[in-house]
Chain A
Amino acid sequence: MLTSKVFVKKTKRGGVLKVVREHYLRDDITCGSQHCTKCDHNVNVETENSPETDIDSYNVGKSKTQPLVISPPSNSELCSSSHYVIPDTNVVLHQIDVLEDESLQNFIILQTVIDEVKHRSLPANKRLKDILANSSKHFYTFCNEYNSETYVEREPGESSNDRNDRAIRTAAKWYTNHLQEYEKDISIVLLTDDNDNRTKAKEAGIMSFTVHEYIKSLKNGGNLIDRLAWKSSAGTQQEGKLIYPEHIATSDILKGVKSGKYLQGSFMASRENYLEASVNVTESEKFVLIQGHQNLNRAVHSDIVAIEMLPEAEWSCPSSLVLEDTAQAEDDALEDDSKLKNKVPEHLRQPTGRVVGIIKRNWRQYCGILKPSLLKKGTKHLFVPAERRIPKIRIETRQAEDLATQRIIVAIDSWPRSSRYPQGHFVRKLGNIGDKGAENEVLLLEHDVPHQVFSEKVLSFLPKMPWSITKEDMKHRKDLRDIVVCSVDPPGCTDIDDALHCRLLDNGNYEVGVHIADVSHFIRPGTALDEEAANRGTTVYLTDKRIDMVPELLSSNLCSLRCDVERLAFTVIWEMTEDAKILNTSFTKSVINSKASLMYSEAQARIDDKTMNDELTLSLRGLNKLAKLLKQSRIDAGALCLASTEVRFQVDSETADPIDVQTKKLLETNSMVEEFMLLANISVAKKILEEFPNCALLRRHPSPPPSNFEPVIKAASSKGFIMDCSSNKNLAESLNKAEFDENPYFNTMLRIMTTRCMMQAVYFCSGMLPESEYVHYGLAAAIYTHFTSPIRRYSDIIVHRLLAVCIGADASYPDLLEKKKTQSLCNNLNYRHKMAQYAGRASVNLHTHLFFKTRVQDEDGYVLFVRKNALQVLIPKYGLEGTLYLNENKKSPTQFVYNEEQDTQTAGDVVFHVFDHVIIQLSIDRSNVQHLKLAINLVKPQIPGFSVAPASQVDGEKEKVGPPSKKARK
């Protein structure tokens, strides 16, 4: 039967369009119950059974395959007979955490509900889909909108919500009647929190409860009650004092934003001070400061908010205070605000605003722990998220004692005006606090790293083993199997994606080849494998774990260029003169057979050992010689050598606890490999840009605005050095000159500080930006891309595909050449890379904490920054940075005085400048289990009443074991 859906909509240009969609109603949509014999259930499973089977068992067999079981056991006290449950849209939207629980089965999800959920919340929609796909949950999708008996048409004067409610009731009624006629009745329970809807349902003879009623009536529902979201309209919280100003209505916000009265932007809470945040205003790229509870007005980190600018007289500046939310009671909200009220000198004032409304909440689920509560038996608790930018969350749980030692996940439901903290509900446990698995899980979740095992669908696109190279593969490939190729990598590396060779040609020139694993041969565009890799974007390296971007079969076997096996590669070959001038460049797909997988140290030893003169060693020496020349010319062009502190842990072989830390050593061979990788990247970038000026995937590193360098210039000038930051070349020279005999670490620190001034390097699509913005500041290259690590970066796979099209080795596909698609891919890659970096750092932090769990040590440190109430101290040995809080104890006789002009802190006759040497004591502060903080106390210089006595050195047993496999970043 045909009917049509008619609606009018406004077009972008302001016109009005009447849209008519045809809507076909069917009479063959089945109820999905195994109980039912009326519906023709065999439509979907026709192929599964052989036609010879006799009719009776045939039909029974068919209905057995239906998702809803014959007689579901009933745990509910409200409805003791067997029943199926139909939830309405709001129940699905708000209580998805509960629906995900294994114990809730035999639900019917109506199409009306799915459509509405899809419209209102994408994350909820995705989770709903996952539930529906899980066959053990016995959830059934009933297409009520296409069933001729349950379709309802909107009536005059009826809002679309009312229509949908009516559609849900009609479907529930249909089910009730449909399943009634069997000897063993199955009832239908409609779950809805809407009173009106429930009354109408009851009038129509449908059993209907609220979610809370139903879940509470379940005999085994103990855990589920905790996970129920708060009723948004519940009156319980209303009586309290209203703390926050009201949010204005969405329509007013949108109007205000349009007229310029309000600004729209993403809200970014400060990591250091819970009473401060900045809003990144869309379209103008400017940051607006928000200060104080009232002005922050319940915005949570990463929400999209509307703000109103404050009059200029009330503008403020970020305080240099490091503040942590330690408030115990509700009513100190106003007090907190006064902490920040200080007159700000005019020249420091920044644009300041206040949040007037929320445009879009970007709440996700948060990891954290329960705040130890005084009342152990109570049900109301505070949850402390691991992410500092997220406020504490109020939850209700009956299992507080059990959860006290656990890392848990909590979701926010709402934030009423009268509540100081947002309200949420418990979702699930991750594991014990301090347990490495649980902590790693927290780390991955907090950084949004996709880390599930690869799905069957993804794995189905892997090549079948045993795999070998076929004739087909050789068609577009050069056979380079007889060339002496080798790979040089860090110890323990299993995903080898690059190999090198170098040989002297007859004409006296060198032929240098860089061979990169041909991952794009295995990952074909459009497959589930490709989509998964594109979503993951990068392999994430934690200190003790690697989260692969592609399944292990590829990353550690088929794509890894191991020695003595034939592997597919993408090769760049240069002909170079003796002084490293490139004569010509060629690209080809190839087959190689690596002769050796060396470690950096092994390669170094071969080069240095004068007695070795085999072909491999000669090749390495040639590479090394050319690399030095290349590096020199790069530095001459203005490339920067920046420093960051990277450490590696030596790990106990049994407990996997770190037992020693060392900073990474760099050998000549590290830089050798790096030089050729850079060269390959640049050559490829040129090639793909030439061929695809509009859709090449490149990487740029914008030059930082001069204001970024101010802290470095200020710090350097305090020691009498002048930094010239006008160009990268001048900066590199200034850095080289800044040597300081008394403090050998000075130069490195200056480089670390300079690194912090830099912008993030990002991927982009060449068609989206003017050519002048392609430059890579740090490498001093006019153009750059990533080509050399396709196993662990998705960007490289795209670049491989582009290059393959350039040389005619592979076909292109539409999405590859679409610049908007490429740009949105780039945005995802940039995000994933940033998150992977943060996750890596967090993992190092975690291990540092584990390392200091049993230790108290005194170490050398240097002051990196002087803040208003703290010193940032760098501890070179561990590559750590810690905060030494000053004036914490107001009653202490020693008080520090901060001098903003000169950046100093003075106490008595001791003055702290930037770069000053100190000795500090490291230990773990156990006062807060959540963030096991590394406590830093001053040992030297001694300040009575502040510094602590030196600790007796504790010698941990040192046991050298295989270091973790972490690959150096190029």
Chain B
Amino acid sequence: MADVNYSEAEKTFILHGIQDKFPCREDGRGCEDYRHMEIETGVVSNTSGSARLRLANTDILVGVKAELGVPSPEKPDSGCIEFFVDCSANATPEFEGRGGEELATEISTVLSRCYDNSGCLDLKSLCIIPKQQCWILYIDVLLLECGGNLFDAASIGVKAALYNTRIPNVTVNQEDDEMEIELSDDPYDVNRLDISSSPCIVTLSKIGHYHVVDASQKEEACCLARLMMGVTAKGTISALKKEGWGSLNPESIFDMMETGKKIGQVLNTSLLNVLEEEEKSGNKRKTVGFLK
């Protein structure tokens, strides 16, 4: 990750701030506060669904492309979902060449693990003809700027993009053993995905003896270990991953999980609220995109 070298004094300053009785982070947030977030969906018109998320300085663009394909043999009656993360060299010069590859794989692995659960997204609804034809959702995450907490930001962007996704309605005509798929000619005749139980990632970073959410880049530099978890609106944890070279004792893990669950639930609900509000403004809304 985009590591910045900070002086020992600076690190100590951050560490001490969090260790205080009334913890105070470098930007004045509390331990369980997220930074300011901006989200907009439908920013890329030639995708099936898209969203752009800005979390303080972290900038992420997500596009969903629905294509017809063959279901995997293990799950013949459901569609597929595939993640691909691209760390643009725009974000930091270190990503140039294959520099961002490792991070990209890491993010996409965590995302697929979060969604690899039948309760998260109803993939069965994406199946058209069992064993023969299904929708495959290719989710492309483009990292435009790094400002810390990339995992959470990516997952929120993905969830928003999925909410925005519109899959054309198809009908199947069966003729003997030939199946033919016909597209509806009405561009408004589409199916939406149900994302009410899709997870968001909440990362808890252990700094000193305490843990914080939504670590900024500086805080990440001081963090020894972190725990990321996929949390749904109901508080179910769909995936869990520990990262970093420091160790965590079981007690603090439980502690962190409890916090994560609580924060994840709030995060999911408020995200859904924002998305629904945006949806209400309808077609008349002018897309802001990158023109801001």
Interface window among A104-112, A155-163, A705-713: A155-163
Q: Is the CB of A6 within 8 A of B178?
A: no
Cβ of B178 and Cβ of A8 under 8 Å apart? no
B residues in contact with A20, CB < 8 Å = 45-46
- Assuming the contacts A8-B183, A15-B67, asked whether A157 and B188 have C-beta atoms less than 8 A apart, the reply is yes
Chain B CB within 10 Å, residue with most, of A6, A16, A19, A156:
A16
Distance in Å: Cβ of A9 to nearest Cβ of chain B = 7
Contact with B along A1-33 (1 / 0, CB 8 A): 000101111100011101110000000000000
Minimum C-beta distance from A165 to chain B (A): 16
- For residue A47, CB closer than 8 A to chain B, the reply is no
Closest chain A residue to B45 by CB distance?
A20
Structural contact, B187 and A16, CB atoms closer than 8 A: no
Interface: B38 (CB within 8 A) = no
**Are B176 and A259 in contact, CB atoms less than 8 angstroms apart?**
yes
Other-chain contact of A255, B45, B168, B175 (Cβ < 8 Å): B175
Contact B68 A16 (CB under 8 A): yes
Secondary structure dominating the interface of B: strand
Bound CA span A155–B188, Å: 8
Question: Is the CB–CB distance between B48 and A15 below 8 Å?
Answer: no
Given contacts A258-B178, A259-B175, contact A18 B186 (CB under 8 A): no
Residues of A in contact with B, size category = 20 to 34
Q: Decide yes or no whether B185 CB sits under 8 A from chain A.
A: yes
Question: For the side of the interface on B, what is the size category?
Answer: 20 to 34
The answer, yes or no, to whether B66 is at the interface (CB within 8 Å) is yes
The distance in angstroms between the C-alpha atoms of A156 and B170, with both chains bound, is: 17
How many Å from the CB of A842 to the closest CB on chain B? 47
B72-126 at interface with A (beta carbon < 8 Å): none
Question: Could you tell me if A255 and B183 are in contact, using CB atoms closer than 8 angstroms?
Answer: no
Determine whether the beta carbon of B187 is less than 8 Å from that of A255. Answer: no
* Contact flag A157-B186 (CB < 8 Å), given A8-B168, A16-B168, A259-B178: yes
| In the complex, A154 has a CB within 8 A of chain B | yes
Q: Do residues A159 and B186 form an inter-chain contact, with CB atoms below 8 A?
A: yes
Residue B173 interfacial (CB < 8 Å):
yes
B37 interfacial by beta-carbon distance below 8 Å: no
User: Does B172 interact with chain A (Cβ within 8 Å)?
Assistant: no
CA of A19 to CA of B173, assembled, Å: 24
Question: Which one of A4, A156, A160, A259 contacts B185 once the chains associate, using CB atoms below 8 Å?
Answer: A160
Can you list, as one digit per residue, whether each of B170-197 has a CB less than 8 Å from chain A (1) or not (0)? 1001011010110101111000000000
Are B48 and A18 within 8 A (Cβ)? yes
Residues of B within 8 A of A10 (CB): 181, 183
Nearest neighbor of B48 in chain A, beta-carbon distance: A18
Q: A9-B183, A157-B188 are in contact. Are A255 and B173 (CB under 8 A)?
A: yes
A-B contact count (CB 8 A): 47
Determine the distance from Cα of A9 to Cα of B66 in the docked complex, in whole angstroms: 13
Chain B, Cβ-Cβ closest to A159: B186
Bound form: Cα–Cα A157–B187 in Å? 9
Question: Roughly how many angstroms separate A258 CA and B170 CA in the complex, as a whole number?
Answer: 20
B168 touches A14 (CB 8 A): no
Cα distance A16–B168 when bound, in Å?
9
Neighbouring A residues of B170 by C-beta, 8 Å = 16
B-facing mask of A556-572, CB < 8 A → 1, else 0? 00000000000000000
Give, as a whole number of angstroms, the nearest-CB distance from A16 to chain B: 5
Chain B residues within an 8 Å CB radius of A160: 185
Contacts of B178 in A (CB 8 A): 258-259
Q: Is there contact, CB below 8 Å, between B187 and A4?
A: no
Q: Which of chain A's residues have a CB closer than 8 A to the CB of B67?
A: 15-16
By beta carbon, the residue of chain B nearest A7 is B187
Contact among B66, B183, B187 with A154 in the assembled complex (CB-CB below 8 Å): B187
**Which residue of chain B has its CB nearest to the CB of A154?**
B187
B176 cross-chain contacts in A, Cβ below 8 A: 259
Give the distance to chain A from B70, nearest Cβ to Cβ, in Å: 11
Report the nearest A residue to B167, measured CB to CB.
A16
Most buried by A among B173, B178, B185, B186: B186
B residues near A258, Cβ cutoff 8 Å: 175, 178
- Distance of A249 Cα from B227 Cα, bound (Å): 63
Task: Find A6's partner among B68, B181, B187 (CB 8 Å cutoff).
Answer: B187
A residues less than 8 Å from B173 (CB atoms): 255
Bound-state Cα–Cα, A473 to B173, Å: 66
Q: Which residues of B sit under 8 angstroms from A18, Cβ to Cβ?
A: 46-48, 168
Contact of A14 among B175, B181, B187 (CB under 8 A): B181
Cβ–Cβ < 8 Å partners of A159 in chain B? 185-186
Residue of A nearest to B133 (CB): A14
Which B residues are CB-close (under 8 A) to A157?
186, 188
Closest residue of A by beta carbon distance from B170: A16
Which residues of the other chain, A, contact B46 by a CB distance below 8 angstroms?
18-20
Q: How far is the CA of A157 from the CA of B186 in the complex (A)?
A: 7
Tell me whether B183 and A16 are in contact (CB under 8 A): yes
User: Which chain A residue has the least Cβ–Cβ distance from B46?
Assistant: A20
B175 contacts across to A, CB distance below 8 A:
255, 258-259
Give Cα A9–Cα B178 distance, bound, in whole angstroms. 21
Check A6 against B183 for contact (C-beta < 8 Å): no
Q: Which residues of A contact B45 (CB under 8 A)?
A: 4, 6, 20
Residue of A nearest to B178 (CB): A259
Q: A14 to B67: give the CA distance in the assembly, Å.
A: 10
CA gap between A14 and B173 in the complex, in Å = 14
Assess whether B187 is in contact with A8, with CB atoms less than 8 Å apart: yes
- A245–B183 Cα distance when bound, in Å, is 31
A19: B residues at CB distance < 8 A: 46
Inter-chain CA distance A255–B182, complex, in Å, is: 12
A10 to B170, CA, bound (A): 11
* Interface bits A237-270 vs B (CB < 8 Å: 1, else 0): 0000000000000000001001100000000000
* Bound Cα distance from A10 to B180, whole angstroms: 12
State the CA gap A20–B287 with chains docked (Å).
Answer: 16
- Closest A residue, CB atoms, query B67: A15
Q: Which residues of A contact B188 (CB under 8 A)?
A: 154-157
Residues from chain B with a CB closer than 8 A to the CB of A6 are 45, 187
**Chain B residue at minimal CB-CB distance from A155:** B188
State how many angstroms separate the Cβ of A376 from the closest Cβ of chain B. 52
The answer to whether residues A15 and B68 also contact, given A255-B173, A258-B178 and a CB cut-off of 8 A, is yes
| Nearest-neighbor residue (CB-CB) of A22 within chain B | B45
Residue from the set A8, A16, A19 with the largest chain B CB neighbour count within 10 Å: A8
A836 to B188: give the CA distance in the assembly, Å: 53
Report the nearest B residue to A18, measured CB to CB. Answer: B46
Which residue of B is nearest A9, CB measured?
B183
Query: In the assembly, what is the distance between CA of A895 and CA of B186, in Å?
Result: 69
Chain B residues with Cβ below 8 Å from A156 are: 186, 188
- Residue-wise interface mask of A (157-178) relative to B, using a CB-CB cutoff of 8 A (1 in contact, 0 not): 1111000000000000000000
Known contacts A8-B168, A258-B178; is-contact A16 B66 (Cβ 8 Å): yes
Q: In the complex, which residue of chain B has the Cβ closest to the Cβ of A157?
A: B188
User: A15 — which chain B residues lie within 8 A by C-beta?
Assistant: 67-68
Output the least CB separation between A139 and chain B (Å).
31
Residues in B with CB closer than 8 Å to A158 are 186
Q: With A and B bound together, what is the CA distance between A157 and B183 in angstroms?
A: 15
How distant is B96 from chain A, measured CB to nearest CB, in Å? Answer: 31
Contact bitstring B272-286, A, C-beta under 8 A = 1, else 0: 000000000000000
* Nearest A residue to B169, CB-CB: A8
Cα–Cα, bound, A16→B47 (Å): 12
Bound complex: CA A860 to CA B44 (Å): 85
Residue of A nearest to B177 (CB): A259
28 CB < 8 A contacts A-B: A8-B168, A8-B183, A8-B187, A10-B181, A10-B183, A14-B68, A15-B68, A16-B67, A16-B68, A16-B168, A16-B183, A18-B46, A18-B47, A18-B48, A19-B46, A154-B188, A155-B188, A156-B186, A157-B186, A157-B188, A158-B186, A159-B185, A159-B186, A160-B185, A255-B175, A258-B175, A258-B178, A259-B175
Instruction: Please name 14 further chain A to chain B contacts, defined as beta carbons within 8 Å, in addition to the given A8-B187, A259-B176, sorted by A numbering.
Output: A4-B45, A7-B187, A8-B168, A10-B181, A15-B67, A15-B68, A16-B68, A154-B187, A154-B188, A155-B188, A156-B188, A157-B188, A255-B175, A259-B175
Which residues of B pack against A, CB within 8 Å? 45-48, 66-68, 168, 170, 173, 175-176, 178, 180-181, 183, 185-188
* 4 closest Cβ pairs, A-B complex: A156-B188, A20-B46, A8-B168, A20-B45
